Structure 1
């Protein structure tokens, strides 16, 4: 499982690099909803990191033209993060990268089912055998 995880991470990191993003910056962009501005403190909570780290991530997103800091119309003391038009396109590509399943493309349906069942079996979710999709 560690090998599969490392292979997935390597592919994602390479794809993020092609987009000009680090994995951390890509994940931050992915966590932002293009239709709902978000305070930086909420992004820090979603990412499970310190607000000072989010400031550096947002600086990079802003420098790339993917995010803008704007004053919250409800609470003018607070800044919100707004995904730009360019950011929407890049975010869509980041989402594609994060959901890319080409690593599993060589498996048959039966093999995918077996893999799914085995992953459920070793996870804490306790999916009954055989695991039902969905």
Structure 2
């Protein structure tokens, strides 16, 4: 368990460093990653996706908006509601966030067989803790 915790910490450190270079925190990076640049999303839906309170999303969106990555716009279908829209700059940063989240340098020393075994074992141990989330990944 300590080795898995160490691996998790290494991944978080690697990602956190890369996100900081983009001017983001891990939380703002994840929020940006959850937004689809082609489909504006109400803040309440982003809160649901992130599994957090709407007030937390407000602070995250405020930060993303301050640096020009996201804009709040009135929903044309319901003018009472604001939606979150990824800006042109936000699209580029979001693409980079996706690359960082997919970076597998820590696994570079593993053979194809080892990667396959690792994948199977991770699926086996993680399925009991979050089967509905793991099935979508």
CA displacement 1:14-57 (0-9 Å, x = unmatched): 00000000000000000000000000010011001111110000
Taking a change above 3 Å as real, the CA distance of residues 81 and 123 of structure 1, as seen in their structure-2 partners, is closer
Q: Which residue of 2 aligns with 1:46?
A: 49
CA displacement 1:76-95 (0-9 Å, x = unmatched): 01000000000000000000
Taking a change above 3 Å as real, the CA distance of residues 77 and 120 of structure 1, as seen in their structure-2 partners, is closer
Q: Structure 1: any 5+ residue segments left out of the alignment? A: 126-134
Deviation at 1:96, TM superposition (A): 0.3
Q: Which residue of 2 aligns with 1:104?
A: 107
Q: Which residue of 2 aligns with 1:131?
A: none
Structure richer in helix, relative to its length = 2
**Partners of 1:2 and 1:116 in 2: how far apart?**
17
Moved over 4 A (4+): none
The question of 1:120 aligning with 2:123 is answered yes
- Correspondence list, 1:4-83, <5 A: 4-83=7-86
Deviation at 1:4, TM superposition (A): 1.1
**Partners of 2:124 and 2:81 in 1: how far apart?**
46
The question of 1:3 aligning with 2:6 is answered yes
Larger radius of gyration: 1
- Provide the aligned length of Structure 1 versus Structure 2: 125
TM-score normalised by structure 1 residue count: 0.89
Q: Structure 2: any 5+ residue segments left out of the alignment? A: 129-137
**Partners of 2:126 and 2:30 in 1: how far apart?**
24
